[in-house]
Amino acid sequence: MFDRIDAIVYKVSEYCNLDCVYCFQKYDTKTRTREFEYFDELLEFLKKLPLADDFEVKVTGGESSLHCDKIRKAYKKFKKLERYKECNISMTTISNGSNIEGLIDLWDDGILDPWGCKISWDGIYSASKSRKSKVPGYDDKFFNDTILKLGESPYSDKVLVRTACTPDTVRDLYAAYLYAYEMGIKKWEYYLLSDCDDYKDPLFLAVFQDQISQIFEHHKDCNEDKVVANIDSMLYVDKVIDEPQRLRAISCRHLGHFLHIGIDGSLYPCG
């Protein structure tokens, strides 16, 4: 473990302009305006590590797109590592999409690599069902328009749009997939929460199975490149590996190759 470091993640700031009902971060944490300040110490630390040839810096928050100017400054700092290490530095982020124009500017300017970036979007009823905005105007139409703008951009086939599978969104997963598809999005997936008791509920599972079945049926007939990022996993688990092997197939590709840097400069072996 840690014989090769592929990526780090750091928080550009703790503040978030949303209060999603399933977020694991505490409310008081997301209202703070603390920012990351330990770049010099972090760069000296990274110089001593066995970095991968292609090394990724993942920017998170809070909401990262509120700090596009700080991401630009951080990019210049991290690129200096290439003077000391034989590696290529790229930066990516995961955003709630509330500043899609700022993100597009960062992609246009080569600051962020769109291939590794993700937009979290909870479907066509994002604001009304699961996102609690701190800012007036962040309604369902606002977030749906974000998907439209991404679909119209040169990055519709590069940026991954992710929809959380929660008790609030599960009945609309197919509608979310279909809207993203119709808006020109070429990469979409649903994702599961790390801790959700509803996943054990037979009624929830029945709804979930119905939704992903509709997604699968539409996707296999659309005759285009893969839109649903989960599709390989669906096929692999269902058709390839048998029941005894399924549990063994669950593993983390990040552990041992990935470091999380806290807002206070603390270090963790996992994000």
11 close to 36: Cβ distance less than 8 angstroms: yes
Q: In 3D, which of 165, 129, 11 has the Cα closest to residue 74?
A: 11
- 195 burial via Cβ count (<10 Å: 0-12, 13-18, 19+): exposed
> One-letter amino acid identity for 16?
C
Q: Higher-confidence residue: 209 or 238? A: 209
Residues 186-217 have pLDDT tens digits of 999 999 888 889 999 999 999 999 999 899 88
Lowest mean pLDDT, pick from 87-101, 131-145, 196-210, 220-234: 220-234
- Token output for 107: 């992609």
Is the alpha carbon torsion for 236, 238, 242, 245 positive or negative? positive
- pLDDT value at position 20? 83
- Token output for 93: 């982020």
With residue 142 as reference, give the H or E element that holds it.
helix 140-152
Q: In 3D, which of 172, 130, 125 has the Cα closest to residue 21?
A: 130
DSSP SS3 for 175: helix
DSSP SS3 for 103: helix
- pLDDT value at position 169? 94
Q: pLDDT class for 137, splitting at 50, 70, 90?
A: confident
Lowest mean pLDDT, pick from 18-22, 31-35, 127-131, 205-209: 31-35
Q: pLDDT class for 159, splitting at 50, 70, 90?
A: very high
Lowest mean pLDDT, pick from 118-132, 233-247, 250-264: 233-247
Global model pTM greater than 0.85? yes
* Spatial distance between the Cα atoms of 230 and 165, rounded to a whole number of angstroms: 13
* Spatial distance between the Cα atoms of 270 and 261, rounded to a whole number of angstroms: 9
Looking at the predicted structure, is the pLDDT value of residue 242 above 60? no
CA 55 to chain centre: 17
Looking at the predicted structure, is the pLDDT value of residue 250 above 60? no
12 close to 71: Cβ distance less than 8 angstroms: yes
Report the percent of the chain where pLDDT is more than 70: 85
Report the range out of 10-14, 135-139, 219-223 with the highest average pLDDT.
10-14
Q: pLDDT class for 170, splitting at 50, 70, 90?
A: very high
